[in-house]
Copies of this chain bind each other. A is one copy, B any other.
Amino acid sequence: MSQQWLVYLGGEIHSDWRDQVRIGCEEAGLAVEFVSPVTDHDASDRCGVAILGEEPSGFWTDHQGASVNAMRTRSFISRSDIVVIRFGEKYRQWNAAFDAGQAAAMGKPLIILHPEEHDHALKEVDAAANAVARTPDQVIKLLQYVVEGSLG
């Protein structure tokens, strides 16, 4: 039962939920590797113009950056066995929902992580998911169950 799993951790980048999930799975000894979008907010915003040169408008600055980031996110989502997307308390996070939509259309198993206050606003995303978790710990337990087949 030595199958290796690749899990994409997308969405909210302002809390340490990715570290919690990583550490928890490591402590449980799960055969899981994690990938994620670039979580350094500044780098993620500036990557396009920092590498390819400044743009005269904010629109094309954003376009350059988002296009460069898409090479990473799209590749990682397609390679992943499971996609986890977290929606936080703040911000619009349309890229999180956009990633979830891509994952759903590719037929990826999907775990959505968010507080209950967003239940109604996220109902279409949740309805496409295999599980709606509330805490990083639930995500760890879900991965443990899926990967090892045991409830810990």
Question: Which residues of chain A have a CB within 8 Å of any CB of chain B?
Answer: 1-3, 5-6, 33-35, 37-40, 43, 46-48, 50-52, 56-60, 62-76, 79, 81-82, 87, 91-107, 109, 111, 116, 118-128, 130-134, 138, 141-142, 145-147, 149-151
Q: Do A125 and B71 touch across chains, with their CB atoms under 8 A apart?
A: no
Complex partner residue of A101 from B93, B102, B127, B146, CB under 8 angstroms: B102
Contact B67 A151 (CB under 8 A): no
Chain B residues positioned under 8 Å from A95 (CB to CB): 97, 123-125
A91 to B34, CA, bound (A): 32
Choose among B48, B58, B102, B109 the residue that contacts A104 (Cβ–Cβ < 8 A).
B102
Secondary structure type dominating chain A contacts = helix
Given contacts A125-B95, A149-B40, contact A67 B131 (CB under 8 A): yes
List the B side residues contacting A51 at CB < 8 Å. 131, 133, 138, 141-142, 145, 151
A43 near B151 with CB under 8 A, answer yes
Taking the closest CB of chain B, its distance from the CB of A146, in whole angstroms, is: 5
